[in-house]
Amino acid sequence: MLFSAFFVLLGFVLLIKGADWLVNGASILAKRNNIPDLAIGLTIVAFGTSAPELIVNSVASYENHSDIVLGNIIGSNNFNLFMILGLVGFIFPITVQSSTVWKEIPISLFGTCILLILSNDFFLSESLKITRWDGFVLFSLFIGFLAYIYMQLSKVKPEEQTKYVQEISTLKIWAFILVGLTGLVLGGKLVVDNAISIATNLGISEKVIGLTIIAAGTSLPELITSVVAAVKKNSDIAIGNIIGSNIFNIFLILSMSAFVRPIQYSKAFNTDLYLLIAGTIFLFIAMFTGKIKKLDRWEAAILLITFIIYTSYLISNEV
């Protein structure tokens, strides 16, 4: 089992570094084509930090581990909202833009509610599944979200290319992208296979492994990005990264997972979805309590404490 734990850690390293290399290569390539920084941040960086979830879920879906697929997505979103945003907001109170309050947070809430509705099929209550058709619905919403981003960026002018972007070779750019993708694929395979091995040896369900260990590991890019952004006093990136990632996870990653193989849904995940919905509503309300359009320390502390209680509850039910 120690070997399995080592390979899980190695897999996470490959996932994180792979996402980093992929984002670097894609960002430089985008700058070469005069795509503005804001567009890169909302698309390439958001996708890059969600890439570990995408690869892990694709592998898990292909191998028919539905609880890992769902646990990773729902667990990652809860980890992002309660743990990362709670931790960052407790250290550095976060100011939020109006567009995030009135558009991105509600879109994230809408996505979670749609997932709850699609997964709890009233007509197939004995055999609940997120079908390929459900995946198409989620993917269509993802396309709509990209269209929303495009409209937001239509008036943004591209920035002048830096000397580094001009000098780096095309070969090196594609090397970043290809090595990054390779790291993601290998890392995802290592994490899924060895996490399942650990769960089997310890008698822990794949659901809890997905909601805790895998969810936390695949959310490390979001954690690092948000902490660095908060330290640099860039609140927009700190909260935008979290909300954007949660939207990507449901609309894009879950739809891709369903395309690979329809996902068997257990109603045990409803509690975790209710928690995610409640947390998103709390975040929205927090924008109007205390200081307006700001996540205050006491509000962030509530998120953080909730996550600790929630995780303790999950683990205690397995013991």
What are the sequence ranges of the domains in the chain? 2-316
Mean pLDDT for all residues in the chain: 81
pLDDT of residue 39 exceeding 70, the answer is no
Rounded Cα gap, residues 199 and 77, in angstroms? 21
pLDDT for 46 beyond 80? no
**What is the CB neighbour count within 10 angstroms for residue 277?**
16
Residue 116 has pLDDT above 80, yes or no: yes
Which neighbouring-strand residues pair with 294? 95
pLDDT at 299 over 80: yes
- The answer on pLDDT for 140 being more than 90 is yes
Give the Cα separation of 163 and 234 in Å (integer).
24
Please report which confidence band the pLDDT of residue 58 belongs to, taking 50, 70 and 90 as the band edges. Answer: confident
- Helix, strand, coil percentages (3-state) for the chain, rounded to 5, are 80, 5, 15
Residue 159 DSSP code: P
Residue 222 pLDDT level (bands cut at 50, 70, 90): confident
164 vs 53 pLDDT, higher one: 53
Q: How far apart are CA 106 and CA 280, in angstroms?
A: 8
Residue 252 predicted with pLDDT over 80: yes
What is the C-alpha to C-alpha distance for residues 148 and 197, in angstroms, rounded to an integer? 42
Of 19-33, 53-67, 92-106, 240-254, where does mean pLDDT reach its minimum?
19-33
Position 189 scores a pLDDT of 78
Percent share of the chain, pLDDT over 90: 27
Q: How far is CA 115 from CA 108, 247, 264, in A?
A: 11, 11, 13
The residue-averaged pLDDT of 156-172 equals: 61
Q: What average pLDDT score do residues 260-272 get?
A: 91
* CATH classification code of 2-316: 1.20.1420.30
Percent of the chain with pLDDT over 70: 82
Kindly tell me if the per-residue pLDDT of 26 is higher than 80: no
- How would residue 159 be classed by pLDDT, with cut points 50, 70 and 90? low
Q: List, for residues 93-111, the tens digit of each pLDDT value.
A: 777 777 677 888 899 999 9
Residue 45's pLDDT band (boundaries 50, 70, 90)? low
Question: Tokens in use for 43?
Answer: 């698309």
pLDDT of residue 11: 83
Instruction: State the angle between helix axes of 170-202 and 66-78 in degrees (0 to 180), rounded to the nearest 10.
Output: 110
Burial 176-207 (b: 16+ CB within 10 A, else e): bbeebbebbbbbbbbbbbbbbbbbeeeebbbb
